[in-house]
Chain A
Amino acid sequence: MIVPNEISTASAPTPCRHCGSPTPSTASPFCCPGCEFVHQSLRQFGLTAYYEVLKRSSSSARRAEVQPQQFDYCEDPRFKEAFVQRLPDGGSEILFFLDGIHCAACVWLLEKLPEIEPGIRAAQLKFASGELRVRFDETRTSPAKVAALINSLGYKPTAIRNRSGESARTSANRLFLMRIGVAAFCAMNIMMLSISLYQGEHSGIDSPYQNLFSWFSLALALPVVTFSALPFYRTALGGLRAGVLHIDLPIAAAIVFGFLLSAAHTAVGDSSVYYDSVAALVFLLLVGRWLQHRTIERAADAHTLLYAVSPRLARRSGREVFVESLQPGEIVEVRAGETIPVDGLTREGSGLMSSAILTGESRPQSISAGTPVFAGCRLVTGAVSIEVNAVGSATRIGKVMQSVEDASRSRPPLVTFLDRCSRGFTAVVLILALFTFLFWAQVSWGLALENAIALLIVTCPCVLAFATPLTFSLSIARAARRGLLFRRAEALEILPRARTIVLDKTGTLTKGAPQLCAVRIPAESGQMRELTPAVFAEHRPDLVAAALALEHGNEHPLAHALRTAFSSAQAELPNATAVEAVPGFGVRASLDGKLWSIGAIRGGKGLEEPYSVAELRANDSPCARFLFQDEIRPGARALITDFRAEGREVYLLSGDTPAAVEAVANQVGIPLQNCRASATPEEKAEFVAKLQTHAPTVMIGDGVNDAAAFCAAATGIGFQGGAESALRVADVYLAEAHLPLLSHAFRGSRRVMRIARWNLCFSVMYNILGGTAAMLGLLGPLGAAILMPLSSLTVVSFAILAKSFQE
């Protein structure tokens, strides 16, 4: 009799030798041909230490989504002209965007390229953007070889050009870092000298030494005031010219007047000098500004995104040509397993096409003469000739990518928390400073100046400029360690405010691949009996063997699912002869003399509707029906319940059929009126945009078909799996397909905002107290100079010690 425990241990799959995911059968130590290919390449190049590095960096390997291919298009002179740069020292350089970068081991592996290929001089990976810069010698190797090598290591390369404005941005960034460095050096040395001066104020200091320290402090303050502080002067003056009071105006005033006053004192031998406050102020503010701008630039390039998901080459009359050189009306040929390169109309042939990339659903549709096809879709089986309608950025997927690029560039800067706080602040401070000056001018000019400056120094916008970005940066770093990658700090602010959540179905709420959940066989009574796969395998191993033999080598998702479900029954499979494809159904073959066939059919009304169904026939009479369903991810129901308990409205958008959407919605608890089925990527974006006009909306999805919707929402959360490159436009990215991580994202961001708000309260209190003291003449610039760094320190400590994203 069946003992369930025994069965489950017997069918426990061994982990893939390369990536560790379960292997579908005990025949091969790998889970897919991609992993096998990469593993072999690693052995060939002597790079098996990769697995060591992987273990050390405690990250998990990913399934290698590559296959051996030629990169002959890289030899085309047009390609070389566009993508290969000549360097002054005679070498050549090419920039690739890589799909599949996810950990330190990737860095290690790719930077080993010079060691395995003599013609490659250097390979440098920029982890954040997935860009690999390869410098090579054209006489000893070629771009095609380089691309093929990168591919064999497990990363799909797409050649890209340097983004426009990139060099300007880089040099601006470098200049900024230089300003920070100079300010840091000078501020710290000035502080060292200030200690002596303060002590002198307290217990007396001889005049020559006082002068020495004073003058040197002035000299050190000069680079700060003339070089490091330039950005503040520029924005302050620019604001004045535009008639706006920018927050940099009181800062610039404090710096300039503070320095001038101190210089005047130094000249006459007075020891009340404030170079340390001025320098420290500049340093801290610069760092704050830098932290704010450091959140990685996500200006997605439509061109790169497009060629990361669709091929560069197409086959015309048997020869390979650049896709961009195709004209409408020409005919291209596509074979099974290949990605369709153009939008067009099927002329000849038939097969199954998976439009997962556009609809997100893995159920392939059958195509034949007259069916329109789209670039980016995969031809699962069959062979077709396609008449070209549109190419490159004119294809449907090209347009989606273009809208993604447009949206990510022109995103209106959110009125962030910080902006709102600093709006009134500037005006208030300036008015008060002026008032203080005029008030004390009645007593003495010197005192008036001092108190006004004290006020400007004390009302340090350090919290706004420094502590809040620091809080955000730290939280983002902590979240990243748990697999939550925030690519825009503003997402931390939007998530708690989101009132509407839109979820994609396949791949997000569900695991994304069909799984065998039941088998129905005709019983003696004429009715259908339903069995679990395990029971079926036990009772009818002959049918299992027949099914597996028929589906051998088939790339159809249902075939995969069958192989996974019956992975333990890999023993003696009957020999399949006279294998032929049955159009519109599946495959037919002769097994040990008997004629068998298996194929996908439409489920009957009612019970079978939400399932994907495959039928096994012996001599054309059905002997078993396999029911597949996309399994719901664990934690889905709890997640929806949490969202609704927090008062958020949850919607479900999908490209799948209404029946499937309904089934999932019922299982996770989303009300049916909030669901939309059969949605195209364009429709998804439209729907989200409409919701966004009512309330801040968050879009959660896992594929290219969600990319446009991400940009329409206030913020988007991308899930691991599917086309990674498209997910780079999402503001938040879950490196693990783990739903509870989503609740974590919302909880964590709420905490971060709470800390930021508390810091702001503290700063307001401090400003009121300190400002009042300065205005009343109680503080003086010296006191202000001491108080300001103290307050900054307190606020920074709050930021560091706070526990966000900790559990």
Chain B
Amino acid sequence: MNIIFVLLPASLLLAGIAVIGYLWASRSGQFDDLDTPALRMLNDDVEDSSKKKRDDRSSSL
């Protein structure tokens, strides 16, 4: 079980990277608006079909 002396700090270090990522995201304002992203999610499916229509339209001009 001595391995835990290595595993514990190592795993905490890895997890620490995630925390740093979270802190960076927070700093750059990604969590400023928590309501709109929930609404944006619903719109993804329709994205592709409309983009396709517009690309077809512009390519056929």
Contact between chains at A216 and B19 (CB < 8 Å):
no
The residue that B49 contacts in the complex, of A49, A105, A108, A126, with Cβ under 8 A, is A49
Contact between chains at B19 and A182 (CB < 8 Å):
yes
B18 / chain A contacts, CB cutoff of 8 Å:
185
A212 / chain B contacts, CB cutoff of 8 Å:
4-5, 8
Instruction: Tell me the residues in window 140-174 of chain A with beta carbons closer than 8 Å to chain B beta carbons.
Output: 170, 173-174
CA of A307 to CA of B36, assembled, Å: 25
The residue that A49 contacts in the complex, of B5, B9, B26, B46, with Cβ under 8 A, is B46
Number of interface residues of A (CB under 8 A): 32
Contact between chains at B32 and A174 (CB < 8 Å):
yes
B43 / chain A contacts, CB cutoff of 8 Å:
53, 56-57, 104-105, 107-108
CA of A551 to CA of B14, assembled, Å: 75
B40 / chain A contacts, CB cutoff of 8 Å:
104, 107-108, 111
Contact between chains at A216 and B32 (CB < 8 Å):
no
Q: Is A758 engaged at the interface, CB distance under 8 Å to the other chain?
A: no
A209 / chain B contacts, CB cutoff of 8 Å:
1, 4
Contact with B along A44-77 (1 / 0, CB 8 A): 0011110011001100000000000000000000
CA of A177 to CA of B8, assembled, Å: 27
Contact between chains at B46 and A56 (CB < 8 Å):
yes
The residue that B42 contacts in the complex, of A49, A57, A126, A174, with Cβ under 8 A, is A57
Q: Is the contact region of chain A dominated by helix, strand, or loop, or is it mixed? A: helix
Q: Is A394 engaged at the interface, CB distance under 8 Å to the other chain?
A: no
Contact between chains at B36 and A178 (CB < 8 Å):
no
Contact with A along B15-42 (1 / 0, CB 8 A): 1001100110011010111011001101
Contact between chains at B12 and A216 (CB < 8 Å):
yes
Contact between chains at A115 and B23 (CB < 8 Å):
no
When A46-B57, A56-B42 are in contact, do A107 and B31 touch as well, CB less than 8 Å? no
Q: Which residue of B lies closest to A54 (CB)?
A: B46
Contact with A along B44-56 (1 / 0, CB 8 A): 0110011101100
CA of A46 to CA of B54, assembled, Å: 6
CA of A47 to CA of B27, assembled, Å: 34
B9 / chain A contacts, CB cutoff of 8 Å:
216
Contact between chains at B50 and A104 (CB < 8 Å):
no
CA of A230 to CA of B19, assembled, Å: 19
When A56-B42, A111-B40, A174-B26 are in contact, do A49 and B32 touch as well, CB less than 8 Å? no
CA of A209 to CA of B1, assembled, Å: 9
When A107-B39, A111-B40, A209-B4 are in contact, do A49 and B22 touch as well, CB less than 8 Å? no
CA of A57 to CA of B39, assembled, Å: 9
Which interface residue of A53, A56, A177, A209 has the most chain B CB atoms within 10 A? Answer: A177
Q: Is A181 engaged at the interface, CB distance under 8 Å to the other chain?
A: yes
CA of A85 to CA of B18, assembled, Å: 34
Contact between chains at A126 and B36 (CB < 8 Å):
yes
Task: Give chain B nearest CB distance to A295 CB in angstroms.
Answer: 12
CA of A220 to CA of B19, assembled, Å: 13
CA of A177 to CA of B32, assembled, Å: 9
B45 / chain A contacts, CB cutoff of 8 Å:
56
CA of A108 to CA of B50, assembled, Å: 11
CA of A57 to CA of B36, assembled, Å: 13
CA of A57 to CA of B43, assembled, Å: 8
The residue that A185 contacts in the complex, of B19, B36, B57, with Cβ under 8 A, is B19
Contact between chains at A52 and B46 (CB < 8 Å):
yes
Task: Give chain A nearest CB distance to B7 CB in angstroms.
Answer: 11
Which interface residue of B15, B26, B29 has the most chain A CB atoms within 10 A? Answer: B26
B27 / chain A contacts, CB cutoff of 8 Å:
174, 178
Which interface residue of B15, B18, B29, B33 has the most chain A CB atoms within 10 A? Answer: B33
CA of A209 to CA of B5, assembled, Å: 8
Q: Is A189 engaged at the interface, CB distance under 8 Å to the other chain?
A: yes
Contact between chains at A49 and B53 (CB < 8 Å):
yes
CA of A245 to CA of B51, assembled, Å: 60
Q: Is A445 engaged at the interface, CB distance under 8 Å to the other chain?
A: no
Contact with B along A23-49 (1 / 0, CB 8 A): 000000000000000000000001111
CA of A47 to CA of B49, assembled, Å: 10
Task: Give chain A nearest CB distance to B61 CB in angstroms.
Answer: 11
Task: Give chain A nearest CB distance to B19 CB in angstroms.
Answer: 5
When A212-B5, A212-B8 are in contact, do A46 and B50 touch as well, CB less than 8 Å? yes
A111 / chain B contacts, CB cutoff of 8 Å:
40
When A52-B49, A178-B26, A212-B4 are in contact, do A127 and B39 touch as well, CB less than 8 Å? yes
Q: Which residue of A lies closest to B56 (CB)?
A: A46
Task: Give chain B nearest CB distance to A505 CB in angstroms.
Answer: 34
Q: Is A400 engaged at the interface, CB distance under 8 Å to the other chain?
A: no
Q: Which residue of A lies closest to B41 (CB)?
A: A104
A216 / chain B contacts, CB cutoff of 8 Å:
8-9, 12
A47 / chain B contacts, CB cutoff of 8 Å:
50
Contact between chains at A181 and B26 (CB < 8 Å):
yes
Residues on B facing A (Cβ under 8 Å): 1, 4-5, 8-9, 12, 15, 18-19, 22-23, 26-27, 29, 31-33, 35-36, 39-40, 42-43, 45-46, 49-51, 53-54, 57
Given contacts A52-B50, A177-B31, 13 further A-B contacts (CB under 8 A): A53-B42, A56-B45, A57-B42, A108-B40, A125-B36, A126-B33, A128-B33, A170-B29, A173-B32, A178-B26, A212-B5, A216-B9, A216-B12
